[in-house]
């Protein structure tokens, strides 16, 4: 299905293609297309209504009609150029059979995977079966967008192996993922086995989303920046490059966005070695440095500070205009440098949309 759906824009050039796909395909579109990380979420009153209806977070992620509704809500309200599947990066370990719950005020809680026995208990062969509701969400969302917002592209996503493994080993969120980083150093053979399973699972998870109608996919490596350069190359770049090759082998026209958060000076090497079409910049990245470090045919995405969006007004306009000025003339997608904050006023998002649409 994805080759028919996801490749629907292939062979359609210029203005006939969706703006986001044009930019992700290497075209310098201006004003740039935009979407926001976590654009569907707790800052929206309509999201909170659906969340209450679902009960718990995993139920929301695995109830296709509700998850599709949440995915589309920011498109209705703001008219973004991209709709990103509403889900969570930890749905992959959940689909592999690792117990997962989201505790109120505590975040994700998983049964830690720290030895060969626990890794061997992961069920790669059942991943697609357990994650089937998520793929159905993609199908429902793509159909709704084609009917009501045909210029909006649907983005699928997954967590990158390092970041997902960090949660799986630690068993919860962490400021430094001390246990996971320690395991990567002390027992790289066992840790490498977990990474290889996640490479296979993540590849299949993204392929299933593409088959269901995703037109682009994104790899989130939220905790990439806590690794040393050598560990970054081993556990961030190499697994991500394998996933990109695997996806491109079957779906060469599907763009891949990579987000190596806090990669710093390694952003150029990440871009060139992973083969992603676009690199997402985090809040701390200087867009001018990124533009000099990343090849001009590779797109950049980002990187407004989410707190500037919370502030709104002149602060928001100043920060956004600086990013737009630095990115003009190259493939670029306007976004945040991390996920939108739950306290963000909706009118500030509207202010940002108007500013970006004007080209700054």
Alpha helices in the chain (DSSP H): 2-5, 19-24, 45-54, 57-61, 64-78, 91-95, 116-120, 127-130, 132-148, 161-170, 178-186, 188-212, 229-232, 238-250, 267-274, 287-293, 306-311, 313-327, 346-357
> Residue 221 CA to chain centroid, in angstroms?
8
* Two structure tokens written together for 346: 């909706």
| Active-site amino acid positions | 38, 42, 51, 88, 167
Instruction: Give the span between the Cα atoms of 177 and 183, in whole angstroms.
Output: 10
Q: What are phi and psi of 60, to 5 degrees?
A: -65, -45
One-character DSSP codes across 303-335: EE-HHHHHH-HHHHHHHHHHHHHHHTTS-EEEE
CA distance 307 to 85: 23
- Distance of alpha carbon 257 from alpha carbon 301, whole angstroms: 8
């Amino acid at each position: 299905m994805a080759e028919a759906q996801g490749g629907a824009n292939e062979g359609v050039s210029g203005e006939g293609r969706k703006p986001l796909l044009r930019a992700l395909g290497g075209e310098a579109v201006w004003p740039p297309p935009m979407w926001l990380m976590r654009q569907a979420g707790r800052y929206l009153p309509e999201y909170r209504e659906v969340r209450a209806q679902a009960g718990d977070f995993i139920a929301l992620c695995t109830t296709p009609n509700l998850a599709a509704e949440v995915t589309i809500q920011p498109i209705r309200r703001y008219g973004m150029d991209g709709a990103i599947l509403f889900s969570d990066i930890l749905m992959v370990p959940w689909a592999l059979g690792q117990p997962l719950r989201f505790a109120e005020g505590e975040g994700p809680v998983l049964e830690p995977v720290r030895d060969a026995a626990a890794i061997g208990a992961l069920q790669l062969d059942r991943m697609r079966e357990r994650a089937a509701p998520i793929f159905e969400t993609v199908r429902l969302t793509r159909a709704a967008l084609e009917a009501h917002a045909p210029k909006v592209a649907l983005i699928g996503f997954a967590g990158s192996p390092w970041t997902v493994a960090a949660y799986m080993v630690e068993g919860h969120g962490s400021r430094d993922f001390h246990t996971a980083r320690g395991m990567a150093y002390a027992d790289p053979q066992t840790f490498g086995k977990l990474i290889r399973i996640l490479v296979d699972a993540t590849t299949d998870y993204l392929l299933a989303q593409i088959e269901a109608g995703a037109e682009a996919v994104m790899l989130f490596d939220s905790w990439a920046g806590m690794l040393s350069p050598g560990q970054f190359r081993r556990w961030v770049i190499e697994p991500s490059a394998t996933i990109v090759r695997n996806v491109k082998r079957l779906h060469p026209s599907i763009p891949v966005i990579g987000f190596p958060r806090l990669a710093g000076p390694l952003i150029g090497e990440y871009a060139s070695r992973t083969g992603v079409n676009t690199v997402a910049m985090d809040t701390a990245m200087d867009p001018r440095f990124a533009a000099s470090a990343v090849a001009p045919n590779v797109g950049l995405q980002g990187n407004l500070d989410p707190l500037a969006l919370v502030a709104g007004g002149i602060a928001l306009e100043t920060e956004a205009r600086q990013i737009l000025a630095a990115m003009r003339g190259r493939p670029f997608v306007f976004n945040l440098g991390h996920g939108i904050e739950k306290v963000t006023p909706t009118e500030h998002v509207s202010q940002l949309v108007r500013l970006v649409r004007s080209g700054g």
